[in-house]
């Protein structure tokens, strides 16, 4: 039993804190479905009611991002959401399930689900503020569901736990492993080289999707759900369990139970998610070979939590961490094997022993990482999760580049680069002003593109596309692929899928559409990439760059919808990738975490 009785937000709807006519209105509307007046208003005896000031039981929101528009969430729609609700009931809470929109399904959403991430976060913020929820379970899966959910809940500071759908089971094609995403890019290259047909590409792609769940490589979905665990916002060991496995349903039930306990203990994110939690996540991302998208998403989440965490922390705390996890696209296995090998707990155990993470951080359970590890089976399959002494790569983390081409930063995932010679490269630029122009020109032999050239793709950043799509992993020309060329240096202000690989410099900031130096590059300019020295520069004189800047004409951000007006607004709209691509409106003092969280706790809006 808690030492101090907790106050519930939902009392302002169903408790004595609400005027009787307001209470009657809310209750009357809810009893026409599956709820009773007694459970909502707390007029029946229940042991948990002794731990709340009002004698009522907490209401736990269960936030779903599912539906057919987000197939990666299918396991939630099938039964995991019900298992969470059953766990809430078991612990004495009352589950309120709801859907949030946009649903953020990466496979279908155009121009990109990244364009919708901030909108979904804002929708969830308003939903939390406006409704009688004392705690929340986020049913995540496809990658943007994690940052959108955590941006909202860390800003509102509602007790929150993440329960993911889990990755798919392994895919196979002709007896060989086939991974969602990873093998799409491989098959795309085979198609461009004339080695398979379009029909074969379709069959191979479907073979890589064998079950419900999100991508089963260490793509962005697996990465972001792993980051939620590294931040302490999931049950320990939960992030890597494959979607169809019984353990996934078990953990969903326990997440519902834990959400109730978090409310009773007043265990809000601000009480356990700290700067050190984020630094631990950076190290964990390097060790698992995580997606470059973790950079832009964790920066946005930390901003909402008002935690001092910048792009430079990625360089300082992540770039020299060894790659431990032997999972595609940086390794040989998939998430099913990774889970059986020990998952995130095994990674954190190894990192903590070597001093790369600190194990005194707290978890959503109220325990420290050290306590969670002590209660965990220490088994690790070192074929799949390597040791610090014998890693897959000695320094496989994400490197933050700076230079006259990216003064605010750019990212490169070293572990995804098989051709290590490209990490120090000097070549002449071939510039594409859009992804459409790239597709139109790349396979034309008249372009004269040679393997030593540097492919520059621009106007694909937060403003330029708009939305910063995953188009940065552009391939070499088909005629070079047919000759055995596997990779070239590419540079863009876009993102790439976490399932992708190659020597791709991404997230160049400021982007071209914001007037960044990337807009000034011309075909034929010499560009130098030096990952060892963390630099990216174009060898063009300052005088010439000033001349080009004076002649530069920046096209306005394309606006396709009402959201586009807000997205591109210079005062309210999107920030650059180097700070997380969140909305500038959240820099306003009245939208700071302390102010929003106060409104959530005290429910300051007038009652109707």
Supply the pLDDT for residue 293: 97
pLDDT of amino acid 3: 66
pLDDT digits (tens, 9 = 90+) for 168-193: 999 999 999 999 989 899 999 999 99
Instruction: Give the model's confidence band at 564: pLDDT under 50 very low, under 70 low, under 90 confident, else very high.
Output: very high
Q: Is the pLDDT of residue 43 over 90?
A: no
How far is residue 236's CA from residue 254's CA, in Å, rounded to a whole number? 11
d(CA 248, CA 262): 21
pLDDT of 403 reads 98
* Structure tokens belonging to residue 31: 């009893």
Choose among 5, 13, 599, 597: nearest CA to 305. 597
What's residue 110's pLDDT? 84
Q: Is the predicted pLDDT of residue 38 greater than 80, yes or no?
A: yes
Q: Are strands 409-413 and 398-401 parallel, antiparallel or unpaired?
A: antiparallel
% of residues, the chain, pLDDT over 70: 99
Per-residue pLDDT, 553 = 95
- Give the ranges where 430-583 is alpha helix by DSSP (H): 435-441, 478-481, 542-551, 562-567
Does position 9 have pLDDT exceeding 70, yes or no? yes
The predicted model gives 139-148 an average pLDDT of 94
Residue 91 pLDDT greater than 50, yes or no: yes
Residue 606 pLDDT: 44
Quick one: DSSP state of residue 385? Answer: B
Lowest mean pLDDT among 29-43, 276-290, 577-591: 29-43
Q: Which tokens belong to 478?
A: 């088909």
Q: What is the pLDDT of residues 378-390, one digit of tens each?
A: 999 999 999 999 9
Tell me phi and psi for residue 362, to 5 degrees.
-90, 155
Range(s) within the chain of domains with CATH label 3.50.30.80: 398-551
Predicted confidence at residue 603, as pLDDT, reads 63
Say if residues 114 and 495 touch (Cβ distance below 8 Å). yes
Q: Is the pLDDT of residue 111 over 90?
A: no
- Degrees (nearest 5) of the Cα angle 234, 327, 505? 95
pLDDT in tens, 471-497: 999 999 999 999 999 999 999 999 999
CA distances from 338 to 75, 212, 261 (A): 20, 18, 30
What integer pLDDT is reported at residue 106 of this predicted model?
85
Asked if the model's pLDDT at residue 142 lies above 80, the reply is yes
Distances (CA, A) of 148 to 49, 196, 339: 32, 38, 25
602, pLDDT greater than 80? no
State the Cα–Cα distance between residues 65 and 343, nearest whole angstrom.
25
Residue among 338, 342, 348, 351 nearest 372 (CA):
348
d(CA 408, CA 400): 10
H/E stretch holding 315? helix 311-318
Q: Quick check: 235 pLDDT over 60? A: yes
- How far apart, in whole angstroms, are the C-alpha atoms of residue 315 and residue 300? 17
Region 540-545 average pLDDT: 97
The whole-chain average pLDDT of the chain stands at 94
Partners of 95 in the β-ladder = 60
CATH code: domain 398-551 is 3.50.30.80
Give yes or no for residue 99 having a pLDDT over 70: yes
Estimate the share of the chain in helix, then strand, then coil, as percent rounded to the nearest 5: 40, 15, 45
Q: Is 376 helix (H, G, I), strand (E, B) or coil?
A: coil
Query: Could you tell me which residues are beta bridge partners of residue 574?
Result: 583
Q: How far is CA 418 from the centre of its chain?
A: 24
Q: What's the full length of the chain, in residues?
A: 608
DSSP label of 373:
H
Can you give the pLDDT at residue 309? 98
3-state secondary structure of 213: coil
Beta strands in 29-134 (DSSP E): 59-64, 94-99
- Using the predicted structure, report yes or no on whether residue 75 has a pLDDT greater than 80: no
Q: Given a cut of 70, is residue 11 above it in pLDDT?
A: yes
| Tokens 């953020």 -> residue | 104
Name the phi and psi angles at 329, rounded to 5.
-85, -5
Q: How far is CA 449 from the centre of its chain?
A: 35
pLDDT at residue 605, as a whole number: 47
Residue 10, judged by CB atoms within 10 A of its CB (0-12, 13-18, 19+), counts as buried
Residue-wise pLDDT tens digits, 310-344: 999 999 999 999 999 999 999 999 999 999 999 99
Per the listing, tokens 């001093």 go with: 355
| DSSP string covering 438-463 | HHHHTT-GGG---TTSEEEE-S-STT
Instruction: Note the pLDDT of residue 1.
Output: 43
CA distances to 213, 218, 328, 384 from 332, rounded to whole Å, are 20, 11, 5, 8
45 or 275: which leads in pLDDT: 275
Task: Tell me if 510 sits within 8 A of 483, measured CB to CB.
Answer: no
Q: Between 33 and 517, where is the model more confident? A: 517
Relative to beta strand 489-492, strand 171-173 is: unpaired
């Amino acid at each position: 039993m808690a030492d101090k009785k907790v106050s519930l937000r939902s009392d302002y709807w169903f408790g004595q804190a609400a005027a009787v006519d307001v209470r009657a209105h809310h209750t009357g509307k809810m009893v026409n479905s599956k709820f009773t007046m007694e459970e909502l208003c707390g007029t029946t005896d229940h042991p948990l009611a002794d731990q709340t000031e009002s004698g009522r039981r907490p209401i736990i929101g269960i936030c779903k991002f599912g539906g057919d528009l987000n197939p990666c969430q299918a396991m939630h729609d099938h039964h995991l959401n019900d298992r969470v609700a059953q766990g809430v009931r078991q612990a004495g809470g009352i589950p309120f399930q709801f859907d949030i929109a946009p649903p953020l399904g990466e496979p279908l959403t155009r121009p990109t689900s990244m364009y919708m991430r901030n909108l979904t976060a804002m929708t969830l913020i308003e939903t939390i503020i406006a409704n009688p929820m004392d705690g929340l379970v986020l049913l995540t899966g496809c990658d943007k569901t994690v940052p959108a959910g955590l941006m909202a809940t860390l800003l509102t500071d509602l007790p929150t736990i993440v329960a993911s759908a889990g990755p798919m089971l392994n895919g196979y094609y002709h007896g060989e492993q086939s991974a969602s995403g990873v093998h799409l890019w491989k098959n795309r290259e085979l198609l461009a080289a004339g080695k398979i047909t379009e029909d074969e590409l379709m069959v191979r792609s479907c073979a890589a999707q064998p079950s419900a769940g999100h991508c089963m490589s260490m793509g962005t979905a697996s990465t972001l759900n792993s980051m939620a665990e590294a931040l302490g916002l999931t049950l320990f060991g939960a992030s890597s369990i494959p979607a169809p496995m019984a353990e996934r349903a078990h953990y969903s039930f326990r997440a519902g139970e834990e959400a109730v306990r978090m409310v009773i203990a007043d265990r809000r994110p601000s009480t356990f998610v700290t700067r050190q939690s984020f630094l631990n996540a950076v190290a964990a991302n390097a060790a698992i070979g995580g997606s470059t998208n973790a950079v832009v998403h964790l920066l946005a989440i930390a901003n909402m939590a008002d935690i001092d965490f910048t792009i430079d922390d990625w360089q300082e705390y992540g770039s020299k961490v060894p790659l431990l996890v032997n999972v595609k696209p940086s390794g040989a296995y998939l998430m099913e094997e990774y889970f059986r090998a020990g998952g995130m707990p095994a990674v954190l155990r190894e990192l903590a022993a070597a001093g790369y993470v600190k194990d005194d951080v707290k978890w959503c359970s109220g325990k420290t990482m050290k306590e969670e590890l002590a209660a965990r089976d220490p088994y690790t399959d070192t074929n799949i999760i390597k040791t610090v002494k014998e890693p897959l790569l000695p320094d496989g983390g994400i490197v933050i580049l700076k230079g006259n081409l990216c003064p605010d930063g750019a990212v490169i995932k070293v572990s995804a680069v098989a051709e290590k010679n490209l990490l120090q490269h000097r070549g002449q630029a071939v510039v594409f002003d859009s992804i459409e122009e790239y597709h139109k020109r790349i396979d034309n032999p008249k372009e004269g593109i040679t393997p030593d050239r540097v492919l520059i793709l621009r106007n694909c950043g937060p403003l330029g596309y708009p939305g910063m799509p995953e188009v940065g992993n552009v391939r070499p020309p088909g005629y070079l692929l047919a000759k055995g060329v596997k990779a070239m240096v590419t540079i863009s202000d876009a993102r790439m899928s976490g399932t992708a690989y190659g020597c791709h410099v991404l997230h160049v900031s400021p982007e071209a559409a914001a007037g960044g130096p990337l807009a000034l590059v011309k075909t034929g300019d010499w560009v130098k990439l030096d990952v060892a020295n963390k630099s990216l520069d174009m060898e063009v004189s300052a005088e010439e760059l000033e001349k080009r800047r004076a002649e530069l004409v920046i096209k306005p951000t394309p606006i396709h919808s009402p959201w586009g007006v807000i997205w591109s607004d210079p005062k309210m709209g999107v920030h650059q990738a180097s700070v997380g691509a969140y909305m500038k409106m959240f820099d306003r003092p009245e939208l700071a975490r302390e102010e929003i969280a106060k409104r959530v706790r005290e429910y300051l809006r007038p009652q109707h």
